[in-house]
Amino acid sequence: MPNPPVLISKNRKGMLDQEFVRKGVFTIVSICILVSLVAAIMAVWQFTGRDVLWRTITTCVLVAFAAFAFSLVNLAFGQNKD
């Protein structure tokens, strides 16, 4: 059975340390999920309005997408490993 295609080549390294970027993106996405969860709970209990909920979730999705995109750009403009 052939190996599935790999999006990220193992013989590439990013401009910044890929492990550092991966940990940073994981942290940012985790914080975004936590903030969205808190906003949703507050909206359910009517501490905030629905407009605050949707603005918060949209902002968190955009920040998480930007962090993920940064990770891909960092890898794309990296160098080949020797």
For 81, the token pair is 């490993």
Residue 5: the pLDDT is: 53
For 19, the token pair is 């492990």
Q: Tell me the backbone φ, ψ of residue 8, rounded to 5 degrees.
A: -110, 125
Domain enclosing residue 23, as ranges: 13-77
Residue 75: the pLDDT is: 85
Work out the average pLDDT over 50-76.
92
For 11, the token pair is 């013989």
Q: Give the global pTM.
A: 0.73
| Collapsed DSSP state (helix, strand, coil) of residue 79 | strand
Residue 51 lies in a domain: yes
Number of domains in the chain: 1
Residue 45 lies in a domain: yes
Residue 4 lies in a domain: no
Amino acid letter for position 1: M
For 18, the token pair is 């890929």
